[in-house]
Structure formats: structure tokens, C-alpha cells
């Protein structure tokens, strides 16, 4: 698994398990970050698993010599299994909620990614779409469009490898401490 260094360094994700609707502002040296939630709340540290999976897929493509794309077509089941989640109907519903929070959480920042400092506003993911549903109602595949900011970070390889055991950490604070220590 791979994670982008900017979101590991800066507190972008909520550690709350309930909807967090606070607007958060942080400054660290020259970097400024403002995180604005949607009505469904801020993206959580567990929602970040989707981004970690997407980043890992892009880095794997780059390492294989393939051209990465900002739009990823994923099998929902593979995402759930890789991030140590169950594959019940409820897990697919929670995955959809993660997509909604990731797209709805708006970031305004000047954090440098890919060697460029650009002040910009964006969602953690630009869009998502359920491509197919099986007869039982489960997602079979999804398409996720990453934000330009995150995509630039991946292309410049501003990422770190995580232990697979990261996904076994259930408490949000444990995950955040791991990120900071890493």
C-alpha cells in the first residue's frame, strides 16, 4: 500500500466516527490548509483507505511501465478485500458513503505537490460512479476520478509505503499516529 506524503503530514481527515461538520484550518510553516465538510461530514481516516488503494494502483501501473490515468476503474470487491474490510452488503453501502464524503470534502491549500506550489480548492476525489451492479445489488466495479492535486503527488512519486497491517488498525487515532511516525 502507498499513501501520499502531504495528507500524511497534514491533518486532512477526521478522526471522528460520527459526522464531523467543522471547518478546519491549519498552518504549518508556509503550508496552509482549510478543510470544509459537506452536509455528510468530513472524510474520515477510514475513508482514506479508498485513496490509499487508488494511489497503490497508480504506482503499480507506473512501476510496470504503463501510463497511469487520473480515472481509475476498480473492482469494489478487490478494494474491500485489500483494505481489510468485510464484503457484506453493508460494507458496499459504507463504501458508497466513503465516496460521497471524499468527493464532498473540499480542500483549499497551497501545499506543494509535484514541485509546484499552487493555491487551489478541490475535493479529495473529483467524482465517482458505480459502473455496474450485480443482480443482488452489490457494486461490481466503480470509476474514481482523483483530484489534480493528488494525481500530481502520485506522478511525482511523493508517496510512502505503508505496512499492510495499517488496515488492521481500527481506531482512528492509531492510524493517525502511524502516519505521523511513518
Tell me the pLDDT tens digit for each residue of 24-82: 998 888 888 899 999 999 999 999 999 999 999 999 999 999 999 999 999 999 999 99
Going by C-beta distance under 8 Å and a sequence separation of 6 or more, which residues neighbour residue 4? 51, 55, 113, 150, 153, 154, 158, 159
Q: 104 pLDDT band (50/70/90 cuts)?
A: very high
3-state secondary structure of 98: helix
Distance from C-alpha of 169 to C-alpha of 107, rounded to nearest angstrom:
26
CB 182 within 8 A of CB 8: yes
Amino acid at each position: 500500500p502507498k499513501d501520499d506524503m502531504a495528507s500524511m503530514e497534514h491533518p486532512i481527515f477526521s478522526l471522528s466516527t460520527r459526522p464531523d461538520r467543522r471547518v478546519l484550518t491549519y498552518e504549518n510553516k508556509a503550508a496552509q490548509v482549510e478543510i470544509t465538510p459537506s452536509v455528510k461530514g468530513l472524510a474520515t481516516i477510514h475513508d482514506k483507505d479508498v485513496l490509499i488503494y487508488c494511489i497503490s494502483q497508480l504506482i503499480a501501473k507506473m512501476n510496470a511501465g504503463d501510463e497511469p490515468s487520473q480515472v481509475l476503474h476498480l473492482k469494489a470487491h478487490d478494494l474491500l478485500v485489500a483494505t481489510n474490510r468485510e464484503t457484506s452488503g453493508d460494507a458496499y453501502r459504507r463504501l458508497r458513503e466513503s465516496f460521497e464524503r471524499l468527493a464532498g470534502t473540499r480542500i483549499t491549500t497551497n501545499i506543494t505537490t509535484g514541485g509546484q506550489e499552487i493555491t487551489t480548492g478541490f475535493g479529495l476525489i473529483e467524482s465517482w460512479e458505480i459502473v455496474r451492479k450485480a443482480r443482488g445489488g452489490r457494486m461490481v466495479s466503480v470509476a474514481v476520478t482523483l483530484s489534480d492535486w493528488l494525481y500530481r503527488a502520485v506522478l511525482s512519486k511523493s508517496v510512502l509505503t505503508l505496512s499492510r497491517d495499517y488496515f488492521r488498525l481500527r481506531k482512528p487515532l492509531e492510524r493517525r499516529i502511524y502516519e505521523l511516525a511513518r
